[in-house]
Structure 1
Amino acid sequence: MAAFCVEVADRAGVCYGVERALRMARDAGLAATGRVHTLGPLIHNPIVVQDLAASGVEVADSLDDVESGTVIVRAHGVVPEIVREASDRGLEVLDATCPYVKKVHRAAERLVSEGYRLIIVGEPGHPEVEGILGHAGPGAVVVSDPAELPTMEIGGKVGVVVQTTQTAEALSAVVAALAARTGELRVINTICAATQERQDSAAKLASRVDAMVVVGGKNSGNTRRLAEICRDRCPATFHIEDAAELESSWFAHARVVGLTAGASTPPEHIDRAVEALRSIGEGLEA
């Protein structure tokens, strides 16, 4: 019997948008007669990106790095100008933007067209947020925390959208701060349901285990937020990208170890982590 048992969160790992993007990229790599590039990493998971590159789907930092063939728009989306430019250059464009991200684009465009000053609750500089800004046009601003609002001029009509992988708490905090400062406030909650489900499931599991493992890219915003949520409830929380990073000393006194994974973590990465944890547990028992 192992020294500890391993329990995986009810909701963990790849979401629909990531699964769709991966399927599109892998199919393109198999079918293409020319070179295939993604515009930036397809998803925020370095291991997956390396695997795609090995199968012929390379990463291009910009369109200037692509001379011909197929370009795939990453799951996070891009500004509209990039898609138009790619088409103008004669490149085949596959749009793997997550459908839920596209909903944010449409919501941002609608609010701006109706005369609202747009505020995006999200992580400045994140590719998804940059894409939303591109669809919102000039005048939109990004905030991640209510503390960023006091120095900002806020008009009578304010509209709010939110990065799909943000927490409900982050959105609520900004909205509460805005409510006292606007004549009209319209909020469109664009947090992805899959994100909320993973966060809720991780929080519930982390509240009752001795140690918690979060699997996914260190550059993944939604995975980092999962780690933060788990660490608030279970101080012995460890964020890894690969099962090889696990250390037996982390679990020396654990009886139950929980595991969750970000929305850009494929099932096989979760399986490898579970197998490695069980091996560690058996070693500690011996």
Structure 2
Amino acid sequence: MATVEVAREAGACYGVERALEMTEAALGGGRGRVRTLGPLIHNPRVVESLAERGASVVGDPREAAGCTLVLRTHGVTPAEEALAREACSSVVDATCPFVKKVHRAAERLAAEGYRVVIVGEAGHPEVTATLAHAPGALVVGTAEEALALPRSRKTGVVVQTTQSAARLAEVVSALLSRTEELRVANTICEATSGHQGACAELASRADAMVVIGGRNSANTTRLAEIARAACPRTHHVEGTDELDPSWFEGAGLVGVTAGASTPASQIRAVVTAIESMVGE
């Protein structure tokens, strides 16, 4: 019989819990029809559940005209927010406070004459929103991409909140050869760092690992990468229906962790299901 252990830091972060609470309040507060601008969080099952209760997703604020519109945790562009406030009956800003910190840092660096470099994933909603706060900013995801940038006298760096400290260090090291002055705003979320450290520690001891969260979630995908580096028997799932008993054959310790967009209820459900499998 295997032991199932959850990482000491796992699951929904402050920003996600805050956004869910704000959306719940909008749904139950007599605000009329409720919509979210883009998926509220990167957890398809939670987003589907919210839609079933009335908070469906729109891609443009004008699609929510006359409704209460909730701005997603990953942030939106200033133009999108202005359009939302013009078109919608009310706006609930559920942008994660740590994402807003990235926006402010990017704005400050741009105003002070730095070429702004965002360490992150091009096309990710958080990065797209940050780019709009510092027009002309560049996105790099690897040290190789950083080395390919043209030289600049002053370079300022901000980081997508879900990036790893190791990735930031690699990019910063590469940028040192591309600029005369380098200023770095380490905007990685504390919850991200905590989740990643706890994941690595548990994976180093586990015979099998299960990572719970949306496959469209950057931070959950990164947890799976970290876990797999230490524990090859790592599996990324979105729910209990994806679990396979064969994953745990011969395992003495099964480790479980979850991304920052994974509510506690999903973690409990997966842990219960694994325990029933390994206890048979």
For residue 279 of structure 2, give the secondary structure of its aligned residue in structure 1. helix
Contact in 1 for aligned 2:106/2:130 (Cα 8 Å): yes
- Equivalent residue number for residue 63 of structure 1: 61
AA aligned to 1:143 is V
Q: Check if 1:53 corresponds to 2:57.
A: no
SS at match of 2:35: strand
1:206/1:271 Cα in 2 relative to 1: closer, same or farther (>3 Å)? same
Partner of 2:111: 113
Instruction: Tell me the residue number matched to 1:264.
Output: 261
RMSD: 0.9
Secondary structure of the structure 2 residue equivalent to 1:238: strand
TM-score calculated relative to the size of structure 1: 0.96
Report whether the alignment pairs 1:273 with 2:246.
no
Quick one: which amino acid aligns to residue 196 of structure 2? Q
Choose the corresponding residue for 1:163, options 137, 153, 160.
160
User: In the TM superposition, what is the alpha-carbon distance from 1:94 to its structure 2 partner?
Assistant: 0.6
Matches within 5 A, 1:6-25: 6-25=4-23
* Whole-angstrom CA distance in 2 between matches of 1:126 and 1:105: 14
Secondary structure of 2:262's aligned partner: coil
Give the Cα–Cα distance (whole angstroms) in 1 for the partners of residues 76 and 171 of structure 2. Answer: 25
Give the total of aligned pairs: 280
- Among residues 176, 179, 182, which one is paired with 1:182 in the alignment? 179
2:215 is matched with 218
Code of the residue aligned with 2:157 in structure 1: it is V
Q: 1:89 to 1:64 in 2, by over 3 A?
A: closer
Structure 1 outlier segments of 4+, above 6 Å: none
For 1:152 and 1:24, locate their aligned partners in 2 and report how far apart those are by CA, in whole Å. Answer: 41
Deviates more, 1:126-135 or 1:50-59: 50-59
Letter of the 1:182 partner, please give it: T
Change (3 A) 1:181 1:152: closer
The structural deviation recorded for 1:151 is 3.2
Deviations 1:157-202 (A, max 9, x none): 0000000000001100000001122110000000000000000000
Which runs of 5 or more residues in structure 1 are unaligned? none
* Alignment TM-score, normalising by the size of structure 2: 0.98
Deviation string 1:201-251 (CA, Å, 9 cap, x unpaired) is 000000011000000001100000000000000000000000121100111
Match of 1:73 in 2: 71
